[in-house]
Amino acid sequence: MATILLLSGPNLNLFGTREPEIYGPDTLDDMVGDARDAASKAGYDLEHVQSNHEGDLVDAIHEARGRCAAVIVNAGALTHSSYALADALAAFDGVKVELHVSNPSAREAWRQTSVIAPSVTGVVAGFGRAGYRLAVEATITKLEDER
């Protein structure tokens, strides 16, 4: 069974309580559960790592090399500042999807630039909780198209 790595960055452990008017009432566990269900239905395994530390996320991507078929990353604020994360993603051979619960393009100016975007296959943004499921479905579609 092929494995998809799902990464959740800083402060995403606060989903459900942090700015619910922007991020909704659902918890990270709710969203990861949706992603895991979508992966399982398609015959894929899903691993999830959440960290508030940039280096942990970089390490997880490095450890996925040669082991995972794809990486989905909701990097949170690191999306806009982490060249280390961008470099780690660039070094990963496989499908890579950037994920956002909100739509960064419709928010503050500093959120409108993603430094990881040039290193990913595609982006899913602005669909709230459904984005986690949609990101898995898009990832699987791309993986199967590449077979």
Catalytic residues: 23, 100
Taking every pair of Cα atoms in the chain, the longest distance, rounded to a whole number of angstroms, is 41
* Distance separating alpha carbons of residues 143 and 70, to the nearest angstrom: 8
**Residues 19-23: contacts with CB under 8 Å, at least 24 apart:** 22/102, 23/101, 23/102, 23/128
